[in-house]
Amino acid sequence: MSCLVRHVKVSDAPGVYAVERACFYDPYTEGFLNELIKTHQEQFFVAADDGKIIGYAVGSGNGKEGHIVSVAVDPRDRRKRVGTTLLSAVTASLTAEGVRQIQLEVRKGNAGAIAFYEQMGYRILSEIRNYYNDGEDAWVLRRIIESTASLDK
């Protein structure tokens, strides 16, 4: 698949929210996503195919610590390396800011996402009980950034 991965624009908000709704049964609110778009533009990337937003990834950094807030790819466009490209873009952006380890949370029951993150170099660090609104637990995964050469796992 050939898609364009770029920094988010405010005008992408409806497309980002459409992907969010397609991916999650408990999606982030439009207000929260709009706030992320405004405040995290350097670490917020979208994938567009023929102008339509098909995925997004957003992270945040604080010193040497980074956090992946969300990665979402329209179910119709999964397994086409869109998520890999998006997560790599966020990782590169955070690493350029000096981040040396990145964490994220994922539903314990989401085997596909867990396998994806492990393929991208993340390892299970800990568990958070009742993390999600429906009471499901989360795994906390972490990736150590040893050098810029290790970005393309």
Kindly report, residue by residue over 49-96, the tens digit of the pLDDT.
998 999 999 999 999 999 999 999 999 999 899 999 999 999 999 999
CA contacts within 13 A on the Cβ side of 85:
21
Query: Residue 3: what pLDDT?
Result: 84
Kindly report, residue by residue over 133-150, the tens digit of the pLDDT.
999 999 999 999 986 544
pTM of the model: 0.91
Contacts for 133 with CB less than 8 Å, ≥ 6 apart: 26
User: Has residue 153 got a pLDDT over 70?
Assistant: no
In one-letter notation, the amino acid at residue 76 is R
Angle between helices 30-39 and 13-23 (to 10 degrees): 130
CB 32 within 8 A of CB 40: no
What's the CA gap between 66 and 96, in Å, rounded? 11
Going by C-alpha positions, the residue among 26, 27, 4 that lies closest to residue 16 is 27
Segment among 2-6, 34-38, 45-49, 110-114 with least mean pLDDT: 2-6
Query: Residue 1: what pLDDT?
Result: 52
Going by C-alpha positions, the residue among 127, 84, 82 that lies closest to residue 109 is 127
What are the residue boundaries of the structural domains of the chain, listed by start?
A: 4-150
Going by C-alpha positions, the residue among 43, 30, 31 that lies closest to residue 71 is 43
Please report which confidence band the pLDDT of residue 152 belongs to, taking 50, 70 and 90 as the band edges.
very low
What's the CA gap between 69 and 92, in Å, rounded? 15
Average pLDDT value for the chain:
92
CATH topology of domain 4-150: Aminopeptidase (3.40.630)
